[in-house]
Amino acid sequence: VGYNVAILGATGAVGTRLIQQLEQSNVPVKSIKLLASTRSAGKTLQFKQKDIVVEATTPESFDGIDLVLASGGGSVSKKFAPEAVKRGAVVVDNSSFWRMNDQVPLVVPEVNEDALYQHHGIIANPNCSTIQMVVALAPIKQQFGLKRVIVSTYQAASGAGQTAWQELMTQSQAYINGEEMTADILPVKGDKQHYPLAFNLLPQIDVFEDYGYTHEEWKMIHETKKIMFGDKNTKAIKVTATAVRVPVPIGHGETVYFETESGTQATAAGIQKALATADGVVLQDDPAHQVYPQPINAEGKRETFVGRVRPDVENDDSFHMWVVSDNLLKGAAWNTVQIAERLVALNLVRVPKDASALFPTEA
Ligand code: A2P
């Protein structure tokens, strides 16, 4: 017994971690297929110490596959997720393409695992910044309610992919050598201007959209509402975000201001207690001993780290906290493999009959 699994985008920053996380998971893997673009076809990667040759992705790549873990970007998932579903595979997708589709559950297992029961073949993995924030907010919401969230992010270069991460390293070296820094990717691949990230901060993640907010900021707003309240446009909670790229290789940081329901008597100590026992959370909050989460310590870990929990001294029922996680693991590869583990445990690795009509293939 076991599943025939394909990893789509296996050569990327997230894809290589999908391989590792799957190796360490309890998903029974009968066979593994590693898929990427034609550029990587023929390259060899390992799964459980066995050499696996990377294949170029075609619709037929998904024949006989039960489960696809995808991280090849939006246009790749747009095209290939329906092809996989059509062939009977369940797709857990890291790209943003399917996240807001009403037929696609957007899942963080610690927060809304039950949404998995509603899947029709595609399950979306949320944006990295959203995942770590909702993991920290869920136990607070459960005990004290949640009315409002204002978040500012400090996002690592690897969130923009392997090439952006490499660009930061090359720029850093150039800066230290006293040479000119070049920029071809960040802040956004394909946008008109490019700026160096090394020794700098870039207050633009993804393209600008309505009201001067970036696409990343809108993602955090809509995804938080969909995951925590089941409705991407709900007015039950107010969310706003500012997303900033920082010259850190791995690990996103976030300052989160939040307002609890009045009358629930939330205190910083009560919130710390709720966080200390929450699934997937590690409380690192001891200012007297200078203990607080840092990206450098979160790298390679599956958990979300929370510290600096304190009241807002001017507003009732309001608090601040600092949240850090490995954007490539809980923010991407681990959350995806964790969803796969839950699908297996709940016997949900199966595509319902209506799926192909909901997700038609292109031409
Ligand atoms: P490749 O290495 O062949 O380009 P990252 O986000 O780190 O840049 O990774 C993106 C991943 O998506 C890589 O594995 C990349 O493969 C893969 N990819 C990009 N374009 C395609 C495509 N058209 N079909 C399949 N995989 C793709």
pLDDT > 90 fraction of the chain, expressed in percent and rounded: 99
Contacting residues for 341 by C-beta, under 8 A, at least 6 apart: 25, 26, 27
**Same-domain check for residues 81 and 139:** no
Query: What is residue 91's predicted lDDT score, i.e. its pLDDT?
Result: 98
Ligand 1 near 332 CB (within 6 A): no
Query: What is residue 115's predicted lDDT score, i.e. its pLDDT?
Result: 98
ipTM for this prediction: 0.98
161 inside domain: yes
pLDDT band at 34 (very low <50, low <70, confident <90, very high): very high
Please report, for the domain that includes residue 25, its CATH number.
3.40.50.720
Distance of CA 65 to the CA centre of its chain: 24
What's the rounded mean pLDDT across residues 285-309?
Answer: 98
**Same-domain check for residues 249 and 343:** no
Cα separations in angstroms, 287 against 91, 95, 116, 132 = 43, 37, 39, 22
pLDDT surpassing 90 at residue 40? yes
- Ligand 1 pocket test, candidate residues 62, 76, 186, most atoms within 8 A of CB: 76
**Same-domain check for residues 174 and 310:** yes
**Same-domain check for residues 109 and 157:** no
- Structure token digits, residue 85: 């579903």
What is the CA(293)–ligand 1 centre distance, in A? Answer: 32
Query: How many helices and strands, by DSSP H and E, does the chain display?
Result: 10, 14
Query: What is residue 338's predicted lDDT score, i.e. its pLDDT?
Result: 98
Cite the beta strand spans of 119-248 per DSSP E: 122-124, 148-155, 238-245
239 inside domain: yes
Domain span holding position 321 = 130-327
281 inside domain: yes
pLDDT band at 363 (very low <50, low <70, confident <90, very high): confident
105 inside domain: yes
Query: What is residue 151's predicted lDDT score, i.e. its pLDDT?
Result: 99
Residue type, position 239, single letter: V
Question: Rounded distance, CA 130 to CA 147, Å?
Answer: 17
Helix 128-144 to helix 215-229 angle, to the nearest 10 degrees? 40
Catalytic residue among 128, 194, 289, 320: 128
**Same-domain check for residues 74 and 25:** yes
Ligand 1 near 159 CB (within 6 A): no
DSSP state of 122: E
Q: What is the per-residue pLDDT across 105-148, written as a single tens digit (0 to 9) for each?
A: 999 999 999 999 999 999 999 999 999 999 999 999 999 999 99
**Same-domain check for residues 147 and 270:** yes
**Same-domain check for residues 287 and 244:** yes
Cα separations in angstroms, 171 against 158, 174, 187, 209, 243 = 14, 5, 14, 28, 22
40 inside domain: yes
159 inside domain: yes
For the CA of 14, the closest atom of ligand 1 is: 7
pLDDT band at 19 (very low <50, low <70, confident <90, very high): very high
Q: Which of 353, 362, 271, 358 is nearest to 312 (CA)?
A: 271
Cβ neighbours of 227 (radius 10 Å): 25
Distance of CA 145 to the CA centre of its chain: 24
pLDDT band at 324 (very low <50, low <70, confident <90, very high): very high
Q: Is 362 exposed, middle or buried (0-12, 13-18, 19+ CB in 10 A)?
A: exposed
**Same-domain check for residues 161 and 258:** yes
pLDDT surpassing 90 at residue 1? no
Q: Which of 324, 327, 325, 322 is nearest to 257 (CA)?
A: 322
What is the CA(57)–ligand 1 centre distance, in A? Answer: 10
Residue carrying the six token digits 């998971």:
25
**Same-domain check for residues 144 and 246:** yes
What is the CA(223)–ligand 1 centre distance, in A? Answer: 24
- Structure token digits, residue 43: 């390259």
- Better-scored residue on pLDDT, 312 or 354: 312
Q: What is the per-residue pLDDT across 236-274, written as a single tens digit (0 to 9) for each?
A: 999 999 999 999 999 999 999 999 999 999 999 999 999
Q: 227-233, long-range: CB within 8 Å, 24+ apart, which pairs?
A: 227/106, 227/107, 227/108, 227/111, 227/112, 227/126, 227/130, 227/134, 228/111, 228/112, 228/134, 228/137, 228/138, 228/141, 228/146, 230/112, 230/115, 232/100
Active site (annotated) includes residue 289:
no
308 inside domain: yes
Residue carrying the six token digits 């203990």:
291
Q: Which residues pair with 153 in a beta bridge?
A: 243, 254
- Structure token digits, residue 272: 């710390």
- Ligand 1 pocket test, candidate residues 19, 37, 43, 83, most atoms within 8 A of CB: 37
- Ligand 1 pocket test, candidate residues 11, 18, 61, 128, most atoms within 8 A of CB: 11
Total domains, the chain? 2
| Average pLDDT value for the chain | 98
What is the CA(195)–ligand 1 centre distance, in A? Answer: 23
**Same-domain check for residues 83 and 232:** no
363 inside domain: no
Query: What is residue 260's predicted lDDT score, i.e. its pLDDT?
Result: 98
Query: How many Å is the Cα radius of gyration of the chain?
Result: 20
Q: What is the per-residue pLDDT across 184-233, written as a single tens digit (0 to 9) for each?
A: 999 999 999 999 999 999 999 999 999 999 999 999 999 999 999 999 99
**Same-domain check for residues 93 and 227:** no
Active site (annotated) includes residue 128:
yes
- Rounded to the nearest 5 percent, the helix, strand and coil shares of the chain are 35, 25, 40
Please report, for the domain that includes residue 183, its CATH number.
3.30.360.10
Which strands form 67-70's sheet, in the order they lie side by side?
Answer: 55-56, 29-36, 3-8, 67-70, 90-93, 122-124
- Structure token digits, residue 186: 């960040």
- Structure token digits, residue 191: 């946008």
**Same-domain check for residues 122 and 134:** no
User: HSE of 284 in the Cβ direction (CA atoms, 13 Å)?
Assistant: 18
